[in-house]
Structure 1
Amino acid sequence: MGYQMFLKLEDKVLQIPVLPEKLEISSPGHNETVTVLGIGEINKLKRKGLREVSFESFFPAHYEPYVAGFLFERVEAEDSGEQVKQTKQASSIKPVYTDKTLPEPIRCIRTIQLFREVNRPIQFLLTGTDLDINIKMGIEELSYDERAGEVGDIYYRLKLKEWRPYSAKTLGLTKDNKARAGAAKRPGSPSASKTHTVVRGESLWAICKKRYDDGGKYPQLYAKNKALMDKRNKGTGLPKYTIYPGQVLVL
């Protein structure tokens, strides 16, 4: 598999169409050199700094062989000359690339700008190399320009910096009036488990419809409570999805 690079924010994914000639990766250190009496200088090792990734490339206005193929949709032309049908990249149909399937360079730039405006980290992925990277990063710098003789192409430079989750710690007083720091809450930490107490006449489907707005999720609800339900239904000859009033299910 060849090299591939992606910038991703939730369901929005931008593949880098032309791989950069050079990828600069740096990780600064914060070690401290101090002088100790009778020993001389020593190096106090500290945690490394945030990684930085920077590269230059361009968004092409027209397809060329070096453009990443996954950026396109496949196009199937009927022999009879009927309407052209677009299908997903996973299709087995031989791809036919046209200018119409290539995203406009300015749209790619706007996508990166959108990533910056939401003030949230993006996922940077580099695959197909020993340098495989899959980390959350912030967009530090973006510069771009259009050059004479290459109308439509947009050249750009992008600098990314590693992002780590953080939050303020909480302080509380113990009985002896000593301050105690609480653990910091990280973004995306799972919330406490929610439960549902079964009442007479309910079914897994009805509970999923009520709590998830989708009754079809009852197999997932069963999977979360499999041990509890299987133990209660063992030897009864009843379906494994049978529930009973008073049972407390984890949602």
Structure 2
Amino acid sequence: MSGMQFWLTPDGGGKRLRLPVNPAVLSVKMAQGYQDISVVALGERTVFGEAGLSEFAIASFFPRDYHPGYCEHMELEPPWRCVQLVEGWMRTRKPVTLDITGTAVEGVPATIRSFSYEERAGSPGDLYYELALKQFRPVQAEPAAEQQERRNGARTPPATYVVAPGDSLWKIAQRIWGNGDRWRELHAANQAAIGKDPNRLQVGLQLKVPT
């Protein structure tokens, strides 16, 4: 026994499967997201993106009988029962969790991309299989409140605003709220500093932004 354990756990719980025979070779493919762009006068340049999804390829077999020379544990599931488990997980269209103890591959959610198996002459009852998995990364849905805020054009305004050259209350309201017609709210909140004439803004004046 090698001491390394290969586990597959279905999403949401359920019966786990520990591979009875560790694969002779575990293939792991990692990718990094890159984008090559062409910049005028500079030529082609590379932009780094997020890491891609890792891919895992496992090839081994489900033995009919326990053998101390290659089996990692004695609690063997019947080979066809192992096949049914894997095929059942694929039908649920949900990820599984891949754990390979003693490695960096622990608690990795993955989708089963392909699964093939066969019975070979000379090994009656044993099922040889190839299993391909790919790391699972779900789409993060935008919360409903944020969706509504984005549709409404709502913005989170700053607490204060410093008047810049060329500013008017309408321009400032448009910049911080996306609605220039709210300039009167700015004037009302800062009338003591601005004065009665909303058009007389002093550059550098710090305005309070009402909430």
Give the TM-score range, shorter chain.
Answer: 0.5 to 0.7
SS in 2 for 1:12: coil
Sequence identity (%): 34
Q: How many residues align?
A: 148
SS of alignment partner, residue 33 of structure 2: coil
**Shift in Å, 1:159:** 0.5
Q: TM-score, with normalisation over the residues of structure 1? A: 0.54
Say yes or no: does 1:104 pair with 2:107: no
Counterpart Cα distance in 1 of 2:77 and 2:123 = 17
- Cα distance in 2 between the residues matched to 1:55 and 1:163: 17
Query: 2:90 aligns to what SS in structure 1?
Result: helix
The question of 1:178 aligning with 2:181 is answered no
State the AA in 2 paired with 1:142.
F
Q: Residue 114 of structure 1 corresponds to which residue in structure 2?
A: 88
Question: What's the CA shift string for 1:43-77, capped at 9, x where partnerless?
Answer: 111012111111100000111111012x52xxxxx
Q: Aligned match of 2:138 in 143, 165, 177? A: 165
> Secondary structure, in 3 states, of the residue corresponding to 1:46?
strand
2:24 alignment partner in structure 1:
21
Query: For residue 6 of structure 2, what is the aligned residue in structure 1?
Result: 5
Equivalent residue, structure 2, for 1:139: 112
Provide the C-alpha distance between the structure 1 equivalents of 2:17 and 2:131, rounded to a whole number of angstroms.
13
Deviations 1:140-171 (A, max 9, x none): 10000011111100000000111123243242
1:182-219 alpha-carbon deviations (Å, 9 max, x no partner): xxxxxxxxxxxxxxxxxxxxxxxxxxxxxxxxxxxxxx
Return the alpha-carbon distance in structure 1 between the equivalents of residues 80 and 154 of structure 2.
54
Q: Whole-Å Cα distance in 1 between the matches of residues 93 and 58 of structure 2? A: 21
- Give the 3 Å change call, closer, same or farther, for CA 103–173 of structure 1 in structure 2: closer
Structure 2 residue aligned with 1:30 = 33
Equivalent residue for 1:123?
A: 97
Query: How far has the Cα of 1:39 moved from its partner?
Result: 2.1
Instruction: Classify the secondary structure of the residue corresponding to 1:63.
Output: coil
Instruction: Give the Cα–Cα distance (whole angstroms) in 1 for the partners of residues 50 and 102 of structure 2.
Output: 29
Q: Contact 2:98 / 2:105 at 8 angstroms: preserved in 1?
A: no
Residue-by-residue CA offset, 1:212-240 (whole Å, 9 max, x unaligned): xxxxxxxxxxxxxxxxxxxxxxxxxxxxx
Q: For residue 43 of structure 1, what is the aligned residue in structure 2?
A: 46
Distance 1:137 1:179 in 2: 38
* Shift, 1:179, TM fit: 6.3
SS at match of 1:111: helix
Q: CA deviation at 1:12?
A: 1.1
SS for the counterpart of 2:52 is coil
- SS of the equivalent of 2:86 reads helix
Range with bigger deviation, 165-174 or 45-54: 165-174
Distance, in Å, in 1 between the alignment partners of 2:32 and 2:133 is: 17
Change (3 A) 1:114 1:179: farther
More displaced 10-residue stretch of structure 1: 152-161 or 38-47: 38-47
The letter of the residue matching 1:67 is C
Displacement of 1:110 in angstroms is: 0.5
In structure 2, distance between residues paired with 1:45 and 1:149: 51
**Structure 1 residue 173 displacement after superposition:** 4.5
AA matched with 1:57: S
Once residues 5 and 86 of structure 2 are traced to their aligned partners in structure 1, the CA distance between those partners, rounded to angstroms, is 17
SS at match of 2:67: coil
